[in-house]
A = this chain, B = another copy of it.
Amino acid sequence: MRVAVVGLGLVGGSVARRLARTHDVAGWDADAATRELAAAAGLTVARDVEDAADGADVAVVATPPAAVPAVLTALSTTDCPVLTDVGSVKGPVLAAAGVAGVAARFVGGHPMAGTERTGFAAADPALLDGAAWVLCVERDTDLSAWVRAAELVTGTGCHVVPCSARAHDEAQARISGLPHLLACALAVAGADGGPLARRLAAGSFRDGTRVAGSRPELIAALCEENSSALARVLDGTVAQLAEAGGALRAGGSVRALATAGHAARRAWSEPAPMVAEMLAAGSGGLRADLLDLGVAGGSVHAVEPDGTLHCRRPGR
């Protein structure tokens, strides 16, 4: 395949370097210094977005969220038949694809991989090894474009999780936005205890605050782009914590929360064995089958040339 990667930061750079092992990749970044770093690392660097995407089979948009609408507009003038992205919130990008007139060839994407580092210098093809990578399935998604994107993603060693942008953003609020806000609130509560609390803080505080070490503008963007789903999730967590506080004040117990939390953590860290299944790309029920697979916690692990999808889902 010919692939364009627009935006060569941590994720875009890692994707471009990983894909360049097996595909013809052209990259571009708005930052001249980044383009130089990428060229020095052996990547083919295009003149502009259009130059990268014209003639490509797939274009991957990996810019900061604020730049995505303009990049999609630029891509709308190219002949590239499949456009995807790597942003951590999918609703706004889906809307931007509609505005840019590229909804018919757009497949929202999100690789669940990252570090606290940023920029092409931190890019590492191994960052993606074995990661879950969401590719969004909407009612109007062109399934041949989706399968083409899935072929590219599984080729990087990632597992494609199919779900709607709405389901992704709801899950993302729970497993990324919420942990970032809790980490920040915990860090603040520790700091409010002054030097003594700081001196005594050990493992539980260290792990609970780790992601508060990410850049504040990235944390804020992650939360604010997904504001409505995150606000709903936060309501539930605030109610649960307020209930625990009330119980403590009344001489009651927090055993129910501790037990539920322990069970949930165990279930996550010891997942059920996966069971293999196949889906045929041309089948009439593919859209529903893919959404069912994702909701069940399953994923696509390989795409055959004839479009057959090799999948796995948790056994019961």
A residues in contact (CB < 8 Å) with B: 112-114, 131-132, 134, 161, 163, 167-168, 170-172, 174-176, 178-217, 219-220, 223-224, 227-228, 230-231, 233-238, 240-242, 244-246, 248-249, 251, 253-255, 257-269, 271, 294-299, 314
Contacts and interface: CB of A to CB of B under 8 A. Distances in A.
A182 B182 contact: yes
Contacts of A237: 185-186, 189, 241
Contacts of A268: 187, 190-191, 198, 201, 205, 209
Contact of A314 (B187, B195, B209): B195
B188 A171 contact: no
Contacts of A249: 227-228, 231
A190 to B, nearest CB: 5
B114 A255 contact: no
Nearest to A174: B193
Copies in the assembly, this chain: 2
Contacts of A168: 200
A224 B257 CA distance: 12
Name the residue in A262, A267, A297 with the highest tally of chain B Cβ atoms < 10 Å from its Cβ. A262
Contacts of A299: 199
Contacts of A294: 196, 199
Given A234-B248, A241-B238, A257 B201 contact: no
Given A188-B257, A245-B234, A161 B207 contact: no
Nearest to A297: B195
B192 A236 contact: yes
Contact of A205 (B179, B213, B271, B298): B179
Nearest to A159: B199
Given A176-B205, A180-B204, A217-B255, A171 B197 contact: yes
21 contacts: A174-B190, A174-B192, A174-B197, A175-B200, A176-B202, A179-B186, A181-B241, A191-B268, A195-B295, A198-B268, A209-B268, A212-B261, A213-B269, A216-B261, A223-B254, A223-B258, A227-B248, A230-B248, A234-B248, A237-B241, A238-B242
Contacts of A193: 170-171, 174-175
Nearest to A180: B204
Given A171-B196, A174-B190, A223-B254, 9 more contacts: A132-B199, A170-B197, A174-B189, A188-B264, A189-B237, A192-B236, A209-B265, A210-B265, A230-B248
A244 B181 contact: yes
Contacts of A295: 194-196
B219 A258 contact: yes
A208 B179 contact: yes
Contacts of A203: 114, 211
